[in-house]
Structure 1
Amino acid sequence: MRSKSVASVAAVALATVVALTGCVSAEPPAAAHASAPSQTAKPTPTVASAPSVRVPTTCDALVPRDAANAAAATPVLPSTPRRSPLPVAYADDRVGALSCEWKADVAADWPDTSIVGITVIPDVTKAAFDEVRNGSISSLVRPGKYGADSYTLCEFGGYGTACSFSELANGYAVVGSIFRVGKQEDSTVSAANDALFDRVHAVAASLAPPAARWEPASASIRGASTCDDLATIRQITAVFPGTDPNEYRSEGGEDAYSTLSTAQAVGSYYCVLAGSDGTWSLQLAVLPGGASYVHTAEQSRADLASVQSIAGVGDSASYFPTTGTLDIVAGNGWVQLESKGAPLDKIKAMAATVLTNLGYAG
């Protein structure tokens, strides 16, 4: 992901500012208590029905409120950011990341309010970490004080001042960010970013290893890493005939919704195509094991009142006619198609192809 301006720093290099999933507390599991022997049959162990946070700490332990206030240079409150109701936007959650955010005005968003964000992600590869670092403007990157796999980045501009820090520590990737509205003294914000980094690093460096990543008890649909995994050009033109489609956006680089390639780790992907004559567009997306996020994502939609239940597609499906969005729960996964202006029968036909390609057997 490249950093080109204050806007892109907050939207890309400082991804936690605008893409965090809220301040989620994850307590380590309580120790089991011994019990007297029993002649009754042992109960079947309960299998978790959805992904959970795998980072054994909490947002308050990482950044107490007074530290968040100091970082933002104004009083802040924990907040749940507005997120795109797109499967790949939940990839960080799917890998069990701990995401925390504090805002000066919880009703506002970047760039209209000061924000502090922290994300701690298990199992991030060095390759994914380096890809983001190398995609940032080199003149803005400063080596961090915690080894070769740590760095900070600041950019100052018209919207405000944005700084971030990133590191690989103890089996986790840690990404933090500060955005202060308005003109700020550059060195002051940079120093606040360093102080926040020191505090978060001290906690992250002592964390226990992450728990195993949740996977469905029964088989899920396959993931995708290319648009062809979802639908080939030939399959798309069979439903949307006329002109060959061009793929113009997909998960990765500046168009990534996930942090540090978490989408790739769980087989989540999206792509957007359009007919070369400009008469239609199509967005395809998948998140294996992401069925539990569908309801949450749909509740955030402005057009929720228009939702329609669609029978005969996947295990269940919801259709939003305003945007031409079809959300599908299938094989423990979340599949989404969107084609504004296209008739529902075309979207359903395309969905049948995508589900088959992802190995859904019904």
Structure 2
Amino acid sequence: MYYSELRAGALMCEYRSEDANEPTGRDSGVFVGVLPIVGQDQGFRLIPDEWSITVDDGGYFDCPGMDSRRCLFGKNVGGYQVVGMVTSRAVDRSEARRVFEGAVAVVAALDEPDPLWEPEGGSLRAVAAPEEFLALDAIAETLGVDTVYVAKAEGGENAAGFLKSASLTGAYWASFGVPGTDQGVHLAVLPGGATYYDTVKTGRVAGGSEVLSVAGLGDDAYVSTRHFGGPEGSGRAFTYLDVKVKNSWLQLNSTSPEGLERLAREVIANLS
């Protein structure tokens, strides 16, 4: 879902200090993200809701917050939202405030953003709920099982991407499980995101990953395998099916690859 942020025209800047005295993975740093919201701020509201932060006059500054090492801030500025955080072992409230106010001042000087760019020829429909991919009984039938349920989905504490841009781009992900088993399937779509499909595929090929083309599916499609939960090259194997279709990017993955291609076709037909 990181690519949803890029699709929405976001700018994300991260600065880190390599402090030898910091525990591994907890080095000091600053993150600032700017997202053109064009009148929609659903994503902006998710961050303070998640951290129980009070929003006042279109913004918030929580420093330090629930995590004593972290300051969180955000503000709607014209047609943009600014969000960020400052992390440090001894977080300085005044310094964090300076970062916040500096970012707001820069964004306030920007021209108003244009509407979200749409590719010529259109794209797949936006998705905003799990069953908008496909009805649960249709997913179950396609996978050859009796029933499936929604295990997790985009939104709330599961919202992907720090800037929460899914509501702007129509991007969405959901995981569907098979009762009584550890099997299931994960679906994700980025309408208008075909460029990022190309970027990721090129990177995987250049990185030496095995990529197998799938003929006759969308405008381009490939299957790859990734392992999780063990040393590199081991662990549980997940089959990924990535499809470029109608200027969009659709991704499916499962530990049981049977039925993925058929499911992709059904989802594409439903979202076209």
Q: TM-score range by the shorter chain?
A: 0.7 to 0.9
Give the TM-score of the pair, scaled to structure 2. Answer: 0.84
Counterpart of 1:168? 76
Give the TM-score of the pair, scaled to structure 1. Answer: 0.64
User: Deviations for 1:257-305, whole angstroms, at most 9, x for unmatched residues?
Assistant: 1345421122111100110112411001111100000133345669851
Counterpart of 1:224? 127
User: Deviations for 1:225-260, whole angstroms, at most 9, x for unmatched residues?
Assistant: 111111211111112233421212111111111345
Alpha-carbon offset, residue 312 of structure 1: 1.2
From 315, 318, 323, give the equivalent of 2:219.
Answer: 315
Counterpart of 1:155? 65
The CA RMSD measured in Å over matched residues stands at: 2.5
Counterpart of 1:330? 245
Alpha-carbon offset, residue 314 of structure 1: 0.7
Secondary structure in structure 1 of the residue aligned to 2:209:
helix
User: Deviations for 1:184-242, whole angstroms, at most 9, x for unmatched residues?
Assistant: 2x5x2x22210111211221122111134211011212121111111211111112233
Distance 1:215 1:264 in 2: 15
From 11, 17, 21, give the equivalent of 1:98.
Answer: 11
Counterpart of 1:178? 86
Quick check: 1:268 aligned with 2:171? yes
Counterpart of 1:66? none
Counterpart of 1:137? 52
Quick check: 1:348 aligned with 2:258? no
Quick check: 1:118 aligned with 2:32? yes
Change (3 A) 1:202 1:219: closer
Number of residue pairs matched?
254
Higher strand share: 2
Any unmatched runs of 5+ in structure 2? 19-23, 227-237
Any unmatched runs of 5+ in structure 1? 1-87
Distance 1:297 1:104 in 2: 28
Select the structure of larger CA radius of gyration.
1
Distance 2:85 2:146 in 1: 44
Alignment of 1:1-362 (within 5 A): 88-105=1-18, 111-123=25-37, 125-138=40-53, 141=54, 148-153=57-62, 154-155=64-65, 161-180=69-88, 183-184=89-90, 186=91, 188=92, 190-298=93-201, 305-322=209-226, 323-343=238-258, 346-359=259-272
Residue identity in the other structure for 1:155: G
